[in-house]
Amino acid sequence: MSYFEFDDVKRYHQPYEDPMIRGPYWKPAYDNSAWLNFKATLYPSAAIGLLYEPARHFVNGVKIMNGYYEWPKTRMEANIFFRSVFRMPNFWKDMLKKMSFGFVHFAGDVGIKMSSWRLVYGGTSSPIEYADWNCFKILFCAMTAFLPTCWTAVPFEMASRAYYADKTWPVELRRGYTSPLNALLRIPFEEGPSYLFKGSYPIMARDFSFYCFFCGVYAFLKNKFFFFWVYHDFPYWYIKLFNFVAAWTFGWGVAYPFHYARELVDLWPKERGGHCTWNNSYSTSIRWMFENIDILYTNFFANYWTYMVRKGIPIWIMMWMLDNNGFFTNSMDNHLSLETMFPISMESV
Report whether pLDDT(108) > 50. Answer: yes
- b/e map 96-110, b = 16+ CB within 10 Å: ebbbbbbbbbbbbbb
Q: What is the spatial distance between Cα 186 and Cα 27, in angstroms, rounded to a whole number? A: 41
The CA-atom distances, in angstroms, between 111 and each of 7, 132, 326 are 41, 28, 14
Task: Indicate the range of 11-25, 122-136, 150-164 predicted with least confidence.
Answer: 11-25
Say which residues have a Cβ less than 8 Å from residue 25's Cβ, sequence separation at least 6. Answer: 15, 16, 124, 125
pLDDT tens profile 87-107 = 999 999 999 999 999 999 999
Nearest to 210 by CA among 149, 261, 152, 252: 252
Residue 247 belongs to what domain range? 29-347
The CA-atom distances, in angstroms, between 166 and each of 53, 143, 274, 287 are 22, 36, 21, 31
Percent of the chain residues topping a pLDDT of 70? 84
- Provide Rg for the chain, Cα atoms: 24
138 falls within a domain: yes
pLDDT at site 228: 79
pLDDT at site 127: 57
Report whether pLDDT(330) > 80. Answer: no
**Amino acid occupying residue 88:** M
**Amino acid occupying residue 72:** P
Report whether pLDDT(16) > 60. Answer: no
Nearest to 283 by CA among 340, 349, 226, 200: 200
The CA-atom distances, in angstroms, between 122 and each of 33, 133, 219 are 10, 15, 11
Task: Indicate the range of 172-181, 211-220, 268-277, 317-326 predicted with least confidence.
Answer: 268-277
2 falls within a domain: no
Check if the beta carbon of residue 146 is closer than 8 Å to that of residue 211.
yes
- Taking residues 41-61, report their average pLDDT: 95
What 3 state SS string does 119-139 have? HHHCCCCCCCCCCCCHHHHHH
**Amino acid occupying residue 315:** I
pLDDT tens profile 244-288 = 999 999 999 999 999 999 888 988 877 777 788 888 889 999 999
335 pLDDT band (50/70/90 cuts)? low
Element (H, E) at 116: helix 112-121
14 falls within a domain: no
The mean pLDDT of the chain is 85
Task: Indicate the range of 93-107, 114-128, 220-234 predicted with least confidence.
Answer: 220-234
Could you please report the per-residue DSSP string of 7-22?
HHHHHHS-TTT-TTT-
187 falls within a domain: yes
Q: What is the spatial distance between Cα 295 and Cα 174, in angstroms, rounded to a whole number? A: 42
What pTM value is reported for the model? 0.87
Report whether pLDDT(74) > 70. Answer: yes
Check if the beta carbon of residue 202 is closer than 8 Å to that of residue 259.
yes
1 falls within a domain: no
220 pLDDT band (50/70/90 cuts)? confident
Check if the beta carbon of residue 35 is closer than 8 Å to that of residue 117.
no
> Domain holding 222: CATH number?
1.50.40
Check if the beta carbon of residue 207 is closer than 8 Å to that of residue 146.
yes
Report whether pLDDT(9) > 60. Answer: no
33 falls within a domain: yes
129 pLDDT band (50/70/90 cuts)? very low
- Taking residues 18-32, report their average pLDDT: 64
Report whether pLDDT(34) > 60. Answer: yes
Q: Other C-beta atoms within 10 Å of 264: how many?
A: 21
For the chain, the residue count is: 349
Nearest to 249 by CA among 281, 208, 227, 217: 217
Domains contained in the chain, number:
1
The CA-atom distances, in angstroms, between 183 and each of 31, 48, 208, 213, 313 are 35, 20, 25, 32, 24
Q: Put residue 181 in one of left, alpha, beta given phi > 0 → left and psi -120 to 50 → alpha.
A: alpha
Check if the beta carbon of residue 201 is closer than 8 Å to that of residue 283.
yes
Task: Indicate the range of 14-28, 162-176, 203-217 predicted with least confidence.
Answer: 14-28
Percent of the chain residues topping a pLDDT of 90? 58
pLDDT at site 344: 47
pLDDT higher at 327 or 228: 327
